[in-house]
Structure 1
Amino acid sequence: MERETEPRVYGWEPGEPAGPTAGHDYAELVGGPLDGLLLDVTGWTVADRAGGALLIADLGLYGPGGRADYAPDDDDAGGPFRWRGDTA
């Protein structure tokens, strides 16, 4: 029987909890090299969320130091951030 694990948060540092922290808001990252991670969007405005994020993704198309473009669907700024592609 497989054990469900708590999702990891993008950008966690050793010594910090790898999972979600109470009182924080998260967007799930869907698709691409960061699929399944959570992005801490605590304090982001609706406009901030709509703009999405370019996130460092060592496993992406451009290797270490490359960026993965994630953004919510146009009609759902409060929803998950979907992968749009990679950039250098």
Structure 2
Amino acid sequence: MATSKFLVAALLLSAFLLQLVQADQTVYSEFRSLHNCASACAARCRLASRQKMCHRACGTCCARCNCVPPGTSGNQEMCPCYYKMTTHGGRRKCP
């Protein structure tokens, strides 16, 4: 009886620890991609006249598409998702 309780407790603890490890890996990968978006958008928006707006739009596009075209403008063919994203008015969303 005591052995079965110990076994159930060990299995529950193992499942809990596995869940914690998986959650930690997910948070780390999300942080890593956000960090890459920040640096990629900083390079993309460095010559923009409206820096704050450019960074916000680029960050949104990067988070959704997981890529940012190189350079300060153009090169949208390098990241088709980034290129195709539009606003409600039909204009390109991504700088």
TM tier relative to shorter chain: under 0.3
Higher relative contact order (CA 8 A, sep 6+): 1
TM-score normalised by structure 1 residue count: 0.27
Richer in strand (by share) = 1
Higher-helix-fraction structure: 2
Point out the structure with max Rg over C-alpha: 2
